Amino acid sequence: MLFRDIGYLCNEVEKLDSLRKPYKVYEKQEVFLNEKGVKRNEFYQASAQGYRPELCVEIRAADYNRETHLEYDGVMYRILRSYPVKNECLELICISLVSDG
């Protein structure tokens, strides 16, 4: 299987500015992935919990270190769930982040 798309697995890190106020930044790691559709069953199970999954991607299991976010195609997503699939790969179910207005 070819991994044709590029995304970034991200961890949210809190740092302090010069006035000692906390702010958040993302540490990014580039990964190759395949975009997949969210399965109907997965969508309904997440909806029952109040989530709306929008993206499903497949990555190599060795690339994933329990990161909390994924940046793909210029959009930041929160990783809702990960689970193994065949050939040492993982599927990540993601929801998009809503910007604070």
Distance CA 95, CA 86 (A): 23
pLDDT at 54: 82
Q: Which helix (H) or strand (E) holds 10?
A: strand 5-16
pLDDT at 101: 38
pLDDT at 34: 92
Please list, in sequence order, all residues whose beta carbon lies within 8 angstroms of the beta carbon of residue 47, skipping any fewer than 6 positions away.
none
The pTM for the full model equals 0.80
Per run of 10 residues, the mean pLDDT along the chain (length 101 residues) is: 90 93 94 84 61 85 94 91 90 77 38
pLDDT at 37: 80
- Residue pointed to by tokens 């969508």: 43
Q: What are the structure tokens assigned to 77, written together?
A: 């997503």
Coil, helix or strand for 48? helix
